Amino acid sequence: MQIRENISLRQYNTFGIDVRARYFASFARIEEIEEWIERNSSVMRVILGGGSNLLFTRNIDGVVLKNEIMGIEEITEDEHDVYVRAGAGENWHRFVQHCLTRNWAGLENLSLIPGNVGAAPMQNIGAYGVELQEVFNSLSAYHIRERKIHHFTAGDCAFGYRESIFKKQYKNQFIILNVTFRLRKRPVFHTAYGAIREELEKMQVKELSIQAISQAVINIRSSKLPDPSQIGNAGSFFKNPEVSNKKFEMLKKQYPEIPHYPAKVYPNATRVTTNEVKLAAGWLIEQCGWKGVRRGNAGVHAKQALVLVNYGNATGKEIYELSEDVVRSVHKKFGVTLEREVNIL
């Protein structure tokens, strides 16, 4: 493993933030970094995947280790399901497409989500009515301090809304090596969420398929969300907030048109809430006048208020300060506190 010094991380994060790492290395096997970690146990470490769900606000006075563990293999199958293992360094969308070409169902609604496979369970990624936990079987992860591999089931991961045990209790303790998915041989279509049905009609789809749903999702995401290669961003910056029925009824009296839907229950989550109604964070932000606002090179996207963007040379601190102002204004107007979905470093 080659250790490089004083490396810009601009190309390694989708926000395009130009901070520097004191040391940087990539690894394709866990054995490549075991010896280095043992000899440098006191050095700060940042494990990097696709860099699609984080915001760098400072230089990293330590080592950034980029996970490039690759490989996709079919492990086993039964009458109903196929079990597929993917290396944590595999690009997520390419992995989804790999499965779709083999008619393995379950990932089609998660098409075009940026990032790598290893981040998917960490974040419990979700889109258009489907979450990672619904197709998750297990994962293997390396415990940095113990220097040994652990295996996690879905229950062990404590999945919640855009979170898992790796974002809370085990933060910075493990390196995810690979993830095994349980995919269906016979698809169960999810088309009720968002504009999928409308897009399928526009596409003039005669016979529904997982490939058609995937293309509809790609079309919708491409029309609403900026391409990180063109405008720096990390997708949805905020989570959709959850509130009690009592709070929702108060808001509905004042804002009858407020978008809402039932909050999902996560019995194994590290933080189980009693909130029952989920609100649309993008709508709340837009009502506060933030949609399309630009401050120098930092801004709120003109088509989707959930997305904060770097128009050029914004610093991570500038984007973070913008997010702070958004949080404050939403709380002042609605009495609702937004949580960031993006990890801040």
What's the confidence (pLDDT) of residue 338?
Answer: 95
Judged on CB neighbours under 10 Å (0-12, 13-18, 19+), 295 is middle
278 inside domain: yes
CA quadruple 49, 50, 51, 52: dihedral positive or negative? negative
Identify the active-site residue in 45, 162, 182, 221: 162
Judge whether 131 counts as a catalytic residue: no
- Which residues face 63 on adjacent strands? 23, 45
How far apart (Å, rounded) are the C-alpha atoms in residues 140 and 150? 6
- Amino acid 310 reads N
User: Which pTM value belongs to this model?
Assistant: 0.87
What's the domain count of the chain? 3
- Amino acid 313 reads N
In a shared domain, residues 172 and 239: no
In a shared domain, residues 63 and 77: no
What's the confidence (pLDDT) of residue 271?
Answer: 60
112 inside domain: yes
Judge whether 341 counts as a catalytic residue: yes
pLDDT < 70 positions in the chain: 41-42, 194, 267-275
In a shared domain, residues 103 and 50: no
CATH of the domain at 303: 3.90.78.10
What's the confidence (pLDDT) of residue 62?
Answer: 87
Largest separation between any pair of C-alpha atoms in the chain: 61
17 inside domain: yes
In a shared domain, residues 90 and 110: yes
147 inside domain: yes
CB 91 within 8 A of CB 157: no
Parent domain of 156? 72-184
136's CB contacts (< 8 A; 6+ apart) are 121, 154, 157, 159, 179, 181, 182
How far apart (Å, rounded) are the C-alpha atoms in residues 152 and 298? 39
In a shared domain, residues 62 and 134: no
CATH of the domain at 138: 3.30.465.10
What's the confidence (pLDDT) of residue 337?
Answer: 95
Identify the active-site residue in 52, 164, 236, 323: 236
Judge whether 236 counts as a catalytic residue: yes
CATH of the domain at 48: 3.30.43.10
Return the structure tokens found at 56: 């760098």
In a shared domain, residues 59 and 90: no
